[in-house]
Amino acid sequence: MKSRNLQGKAAPDTHMLTIVGLMVLALVIMAVLQPGDYFTLRNVRSMIFQFPEYGILAFGMMVCMIAGGIDLSLVGIMNFTGVLAAMIVTKMTANGSDLSMAVPAIILAVIVALAVGGCCGAFNGFIIGYFNIPAMLVTLCGLQLYTGLAYGITGGPAINGMCDAFKNIANGTVAGIPYVLFIYILAVAVVAFVMKSTVFGHEIYFLGSNAKASRYSGINTLKVTVMTHMFSGILGGVSGILITSHLNSAKSSNGSTYTLLTLLIVVLGGVHPDGGKGRVMGVALATILLQLITNAFGLMHMDDNAKTFVNGCLLVAALLLDAYLDKRALKKKSE
């Protein structure tokens, strides 16, 4: 694997310019097609309520891809932790009727979701790093494992009946602004701090840029791999809380399209498929772009198959852009 610059200046900048251009294009198109519905306060708030759950999930995918791997188990972790959280909240609050236990139930549910998510991710990372098995295979198995655990707990039917306080996490507002927007901004800040300002974050970039050189330089690659996937799993636990609160329902099949969506977001956001490059802001902008497009599809009553086709085309285009930028960089270097 050829070494790449740790945070990749040129490619992420190009990606971000592309994203901004696509955002402007989407807004112009919707200004022509749906001016009365798209640019309403109600619709903007609706979009804000929707994107944080998969936007935070995308950060989990991002850190693993920057490290040179991938995490296809994130949706399984999200649903497994969401089911555990829902089970705790419903049992402790007697299906929402015992309001005196609401706060302790939510605190315990959040702690369990983050802890279990972290453990699931760490398990993935250990298998990948210790046994040197490709991350794609391990995390694909993890997706089946954690989805199966979620299904086994529920027995199939969804868990419903969460208390109002839990539902308000992803559906409540303060001064008209959804709580989930503040949660998302906090997640952006935490992930940006970890990736930019910690030794661990720099090791993630170095590992993805050149795994062999990382080992020779004295970096404990097993430890970094385990911690990277653990961090990803914790973010999956956060998404599990949000999607369960948002839907007031927990089951093993929630967010079934989120794997493709998060992959699209991170690649479109400038994360290199081979690792070593990527920026938090690029992924955040790509998340907002995808929400603008998804919302537009909904207002135009577009068929689900057509939505999947468009998302697939965007993913191919993002990969081609990466390939083009790599070729251009090599050409400049050779000159």
Looking at residue 169, which CATH number applies to its domain? 1.10.3470
Comparing 3-7, 15-19, 138-142, which segment has the lowest mean pLDDT? 3-7
Closest by CA to 266, choosing from 235, 222, 295, is 235
CB atoms within 10 A of CB 208: 28
Domain count, the chain: 1
25 to 19, 31, 32, 215, 253: CA distances (angstroms): 10, 10, 11, 45, 33
User: Would you place residue 160 in the very low, low, confident or very high pLDDT band (cuts 50, 70, 90)?
Assistant: very high
Q: Which residues pair with 173 in a beta bridge?
A: 178
Q: How far is CA 42 from the centre of its chain?
A: 25
CA distance 286 to 291: 9
More confident of the two residues 12 and 110:
110
pLDDT score, position 330: 77
pLDDT digits (tens, 9 = 90+) for 10-47: 444 677 888 888 899 989 999 998 888 899 999 999 99
Contact 271, 277 (CB under 8 A): yes
Closest by CA to 252, choosing from 86, 127, 133, is 86
The CA R_g of the chain, rounded to the nearest whole Å, is: 20
Is 154 part of a structural domain of the chain?
yes
pLDDT digits (tens, 9 = 90+) for 213-249: 999 999 999 999 999 999 999 999 999 999 999 999 9
Share of the chain above pLDDT 70, in %: 95
86 to 21, 48, 250, 314: CA distances (angstroms): 40, 23, 6, 35
Q: Using DSSP, state whether 212 is helix, strand or coil.
A: helix
Q: What is the mean pLDDT of residues 170-199?
A: 96
Is 151 part of a structural domain of the chain?
yes
Contact 184, 51 (CB under 8 A): yes
Is 293 part of a structural domain of the chain?
yes
pLDDT score, position 96: 65
CA distance 139 to 58: 15
Q: List, in sequence order, the alpha helices (H) in the chain.
A: 10-33, 35-38, 41-66, 74-92, 102-131, 135-154, 164-171, 179-197, 199-209, 211-216, 221-247, 258-268, 280-299, 304-334
Residue-number span of the structural domain to which 76 is assigned: 10-30+51-329
Is the pLDDT score of 197 beyond 50?
A: yes
Is 283 part of a structural domain of the chain?
yes
DSSP 297-312: HHHTT--HHHHHHHHH
Is 36 part of a structural domain of the chain?
no
Is 194 part of a structural domain of the chain?
yes
Is the pLDDT score of 3 beyond 60?
A: no
Q: What is the mean pLDDT of residues 71-81?
A: 98
pTM of the full structure: 0.92
CA distance 314 to 293: 11
Contact 80, 146 (CB under 8 A): yes
Is 5 part of a structural domain of the chain?
no
CA distance 325 to 5: 13
Contact 114, 238 (CB under 8 A): yes
Is 4 part of a structural domain of the chain?
no
